[in-house]
Amino acid sequence: MLKKVLKWSGISVLLLVIVLAAVPFLFKDKIKAKILTTINENVNAKVALEDVSLNLFKSFPKANVTLDKMSVINNAPFAGDTLVYSDKINLKMSMMELFNGEDEPMKIESISTENTKLNILFNKDGIGNYDIALKKDEKEAAKEEKPFALSIQNYEVENLRFTYKDEASKMKMVLDSINHEGTGNFEQDVLDLDTKTTANLTFDMDKSNFMRNVKISLDAVLGIDLKNSKYTFKENKALINQLPLNFNGFIQMVEKGQVYDLSFNTPSSDFKNFLGLIPAAYAGSLDGVETTGKFEVKGKVKGDLTDTTVPKFNIEMLSNNASFKYKDLPKSVKNISIDTHIVNETGLMNDTFVDLDKLSFAIDQDVFNASAHIKNLTENPNIDAALKGVINLANVSKAYPVKLEKPLNGILRADVKTAFDMKSVETSQYQNIKNSGNINLTGFNYAGPEMAKPVSVAVADVSFNPTKINLNKLAAKTGKSDINVSGSLDNFYGFLFKNQILKGNFNLNSSLFAVSDFMAPTTTTNDEGKKTTEQVKIPSFLDCTLNAKAATVIYDNLNLKNVAGTLIIRDQAVNLKGLTMDIFGGKIGLNGLVSTKNKVPTFDMDLGLSSVDISQTFSMLNTLKTITPIADVISGKMNSTIKLNGNLTQAMMPDIKSISGDLLGTILQGSLNKSKSTLLTELSSKATFLDLKDINLKDVKAALSFDKGKVSVKPFTLKHKDISVQIAGSHGFDQNMNYDLKFDVPAKYLGKDVNNLIAKLTPADAKKLENVPVNAIMNGSFKSPKITTDLQSATKNVASQLVKMQKDKLVQQGTGALSNILGGKKPTDSTKTTTTPKEQVGGAIKDGLKGLFGKKKKE
């Protein structure tokens, strides 16, 4: 009997498992069809759903339906914007609901979501992207079906990111990492919903940040009246960061908007509540903090929120003669007084005003006071503020757990008053701005990721007046560099409050200015944890002129002396005007532009070089060394004008492959150092008539152009004694070359054999000889040249010419002697009176005939 029971029990369990495994395949398409029917018949948007799965094992006897990667994408006027995206949406229902007929709705008992994004957007016209429900008349043609019915007992949201953005008010709120759960019976019209919520809140308005990742939590029992859309706070416990708050009252949705009747307050008045307002990342743990005095937050919100009105409200934050001390820090902050009111008495948003009547505190003997008043908040904010006091910055980290890479130090003294309205700031109506006072900072040290090296400020003195902020003095050091700056800033408030351009004029003096101390590329870590190096960026918010003088400027491997000029910083570029410097034994003048506006930084420069040492210039300037690799073997001085442009690397050095331009050079004095060049050594061996060490390069001019890695040299001429050579051709940045050399060489330089033949000529005939053209071709590279010449054939040709001249001379001599004899004339000797013997006459005739008709013996 027991065996039969076990057998049939096993068979039943097996059948149940088979059924549970098979049902999802039978009902999956049915559920998916119902979901798509529900969505498509009710919304005007593009809906995507990757998959639907059904699981009967997870919470048996309930069925679990999972929607994977569901998204709702808006149509116009928000075409392409994501309204909702969710990795997973889980629905729980009774298994029996799967067997309902097509016209019977499935009752959903529980909903949960994972990794969801919800974006609510309002454009400038006040239209919201969430309004995607089809209008009533559009739905009349559709079947009146309800594929799903809500019988929800609980729901859960895991990791929701909610974004609210209003373009008209320039307001943005982000609730991130939302985890929320609620329990209640939604089948009832009136219910109590028990909820738990945690999230991080970020709030920005008009590009100003008011809260950044502020942790909030709320455990509340909400009384919900679904019929009247009324939500009442019954029991609640809220935390904003670590500040506890209690809420009382209700919010009700009505046709014209929402009705508010709320009050809130801190459940205790301990000053620790104030520290709780500050994000934990900045305030640290409040465990063990000793406080005295009280801090209270209380407020009321009552009225209607409509298109034209806001609820009236009054929020107060009060404290008097309070103090706090962290247990692990040596100093305390005392005599703290806070008196702040945020009030709206009319329901019109522009009538909201903020009064910070008093904010004061003391650390040791240093006392600091501030006050501010803001009105006309939405139309034209009016601000009236004052700061007065002294802060020893070294005491900040000794009294408050602020996290710094390096501790601050220095003394800040301030006594400043300001009153202005935003419209005057926007329109630069400085006559409506009232500034006065002074801020002074001494002994300040700072190190941060935006600075290449730590900065030490000996003194910074700033004074305020209605039109400008004057930098009376800034004396600072960073790395090896020292700077002394004075000048003025225009439009400081426009920059501070409206993201406008910051304008200014400054004078800078330095005894040593190392560029690397200021312009090192920054390293950042991306979302994947990989470190990337960002190029140096000239700030886009700057429009200023800097008149600079420096005794020494170190740039890469160069030491520049007596540097002076004007730098105009504008539109993410630096315009260099009239920049002069002493270097390479001469002077360099420079005008040009460096821009970091585009993804790849660029430069465009005009340089004038005056009496610079040639070898130093072309060996130490890598760009010029690439353009003219042979120039560093020249010893001497030169003048030159150079135009070049191209791209810059991340280290703000010229990208050699990208440069183009022109160079015109005139050698004032110079000679070649053959031993430093394989090319010159090879040329000397091929052109033996040329003694390179004696070449005088004075007044030699050369012009070349370069583009796309190729340098073209226009024909120019070198002269050495009575030899000249014309040079023309090209080479690449890869050092490969193709040059033609045309020599004009006197015959006497062509060797011993040629000179022996010349010696047999009379001086008059020797003078008639023309220079011999000798051609050479240079290929290969500068380090491994290949040189060919026609020197051998040129020498052979001139030798043949000399032999012919000797033949002609002998013929003329023989013809003259024969003519005398045939004419009956006897040769006479002016020194003698005797007659020539017959044998002598015969010999002369013989020699003459031999020279005329005979063959010359080879030399």
Displacement of CA 279 from its chain's centroid (Å)? 30
Q: CA nearest 24: which of 57, 50, 48? A: 57
- CA gap 496, 503 in Å, rounded: 12
Per-residue pLDDT tens for 448-478? 666 778 889 999 999 988 778 898 999 999 9
pLDDT averaged over every residue in the chain: 80
Which residues fall within 8 angstroms of residue 616, CB to CB, at 6 or more apart?
Answer: 584, 585
Residue reference for tokens 């049939």: 8
Other beta carbons less than 10 A from residue 64's beta carbon: 19
Per-residue pLDDT tens for 168-183? 777 888 989 999 898 8
Pick the range with the lowest mean pLDDT from 144-158, 676-690, 800-814.
144-158
Which residues fall within 8 angstroms of residue 418, CB to CB, at 6 or more apart?
Answer: 383, 384, 385, 386, 433, 434, 435, 436, 464
- What's the confidence (pLDDT) of residue 20? 37
> For residue 843, what pLDDT band results from cuts at 50, 70 and 90?
very low
Region 186-206 average pLDDT: 84
Rounded to the nearest 5 percent, the helix, strand and coil shares of the chain are 20, 50, 25
Per-residue pLDDT tens for 297-345? 999 999 998 878 889 999 999 999 999 999 889 999 999 999 999 999 9
Other beta carbons less than 10 A from residue 691's beta carbon: 14
Percent of the chain with pLDDT over 90: 28
> For residue 703, what pLDDT band results from cuts at 50, 70 and 90?
very high
* CA 256-259-264 angle, 5° bins: 155
Q: CA nearest 48: which of 12, 73, 25? A: 73
Region 791-819 average pLDDT: 70
Three-state DSSP class for residue 117: strand
Per-residue pLDDT tens for 470-509? 989 999 999 999 999 999 988 777 776 667 788 889 999 9
Per-residue pLDDT tens for 73-110? 888 888 888 888 999 888 787 665 555 555 666 677 78
> For residue 746, what pLDDT band results from cuts at 50, 70 and 90?
confident
DSSP string, 766-800: HHTPPPEEEEEEEEEBSSSEEEEE-HHHHHHHHHH
User: 193 near 181, Cβ under 8 Å?
Assistant: no
Per-residue pLDDT tens for 612-667? 998 888 888 888 888 888 887 888 899 999 999 999 887 778 888 899 999 999 99
The two structure tokens encoding residue 652: 């703000």
Per-residue pLDDT tens for 248-306? 999 998 888 889 999 999 888 788 888 877 766 666 677 788 999 988 899 999 999 88
DSSP string, 707-733: ETTEEEEEEEEEEETTEEEEEEEEEET
- What's the confidence (pLDDT) of residue 851? 37
**Residue 793 or 577, more confident:** 577
> For residue 849, what pLDDT band results from cuts at 50, 70 and 90?
very low
Percent of the chain with pLDDT over 70: 80
- What's the confidence (pLDDT) of residue 685? 82
Residue reference for tokens 């060919």: 788
Residue 398, phi then psi, degrees to nearest 5 = -85, -15
* CA 565-567-569 angle, 5° bins: 175
- CA gap 216, 198 in Å, rounded: 6
Three-state DSSP class for residue 752: helix
Residue 112, phi then psi, degrees to nearest 5 = -145, 150
- CA gap 24, 249 in Å, rounded: 47
User: 317 near 296, Cβ under 8 Å?
Assistant: yes
User: 335 near 360, Cβ under 8 Å?
Assistant: yes
User: 250 near 232, Cβ under 8 Å?
Assistant: yes
What type of residue is 294? K
Residue 750, phi then psi, degrees to nearest 5 = -100, 20
User: 606 near 590, Cβ under 8 Å?
Assistant: yes
